[in-house]
A and B are shown apart, each in its own frame.
Chain A
């Protein structure tokens, strides 16, 4: 047996999961897809004494379009995000980014909420949530609160959610009409975690000017980063090649990358610039086509 012994608690509602967390406190951990937690338990890096298995909690497995938002239950599998028609239509960037997570066998189990709470700085789902400024709904027995990425992602593998809380839902603004996205990722082998990744969303108006631009990069800091300096250059511009070049050029200075086996600090800065540039080109041509 690889993992240390634990008590197994299977729950079928959020209510029951919350009261189990309340009862066992810091000894307990939520088990969602298990694609990050179980490897850590097999290595005994994690040794929770109680596992609260939320796989049967179907009430947080949903995808609903509501007044310009796409609301998704935290226990929704990554494979579902990838294939669901509403996600592909209303938030196509999310569906595109999910395809970069591991492999089909991982996505068949892995969940939206598990990835976000795990807080890997290169996670595709964290990057998209940061870019789109998603709303995260967090519940405890006492209350429910909604936070944005800036108040949720704390730093390297760390998120601001207490041991008696559960992430239940994530809300994404639906892609505005006339918008396009770009997503580029550098990884050593297909399915690996990203070295760096860039995500972009552009909105074009009727005369072909950029009304809004969002740019975010992961793998170049303790959490995904928005790049306001680049966004400022793009907003209101005609998004000509020179403007896209200038926006990408200001990316490296905004990052806080680390050097590790997968890439040096300088390499990550440069690759982030190149990938943002490519994502900008994709996003802009898609936005113009749709106009």
Chain B
């Protein structure tokens, strides 16, 4: 039996030890916003936050998230309003098919937490662990930059 808080909601579930966190989120909790691509840590599409840090949810077992706080893409928007990063991705064509987007958002979020005013190069480094097959990355970099400005303005 594990107890996990996902996007602020507490869940108690009986799970097999070999159940990966990504499958737990999608299949046991029905939170299909977390995508699964490679299942071995390469593509980044399964990236979520666990206790405030980005992790690959395909490389963690659900049992290891016992007592943890998990944030998935479903938890990014607040009060019916998209997160500034989500707004910026939408505004600047930062996504096409959207498969990579949930993971991209979390990698970008962690980057902006540590580097609120990133250069283009820093943005590219920050999202290097997330593969996108559609956008060619240019628009994602623009979106992250725009979101950084937006978020900085909000703070002042």
- Chain A interface residues toward B at CB < 8 A: 1-8, 10, 34-35, 38-39, 41-43, 51, 53, 55, 79, 102-106, 108-109, 189-191
Contact = CB atoms under 8 A, between A and B. Distances in A.
Contacts of A79: 53
Contact of B60 (A51, A109, A191): A109
Contact of A108 (B39, B55, B61): B55
29 contacts: A1-B16, A1-B18, A1-B20, A3-B18, A3-B20, A4-B18, A5-B16, A6-B17, A7-B17, A8-B17, A35-B41, A38-B41, A38-B60, A39-B40, A39-B41, A43-B40, A53-B64, A55-B64, A102-B41, A103-B107, A104-B107, A105-B54, A105-B129, A106-B41, A108-B55, A109-B55, A109-B60, A189-B128, A190-B125
B63 A8 contact: yes
B56 interface: yes
B102 interface: no
Contact of A1 (B23, B44, B128): B23
Interface size class, chain B: 20 to 34
Interface in B104-138: 107, 110-111, 125-126, 128-129
A70 B129 CA distance: 30
A34 B56 CA distance: 10
Contact of A104 (B58, B64, B129): B129
A102 B61 contact: no
B19 interface: yes
Contacts of B58: 38, 42
B59 interface: yes
Contacts of B54: 104-105, 108
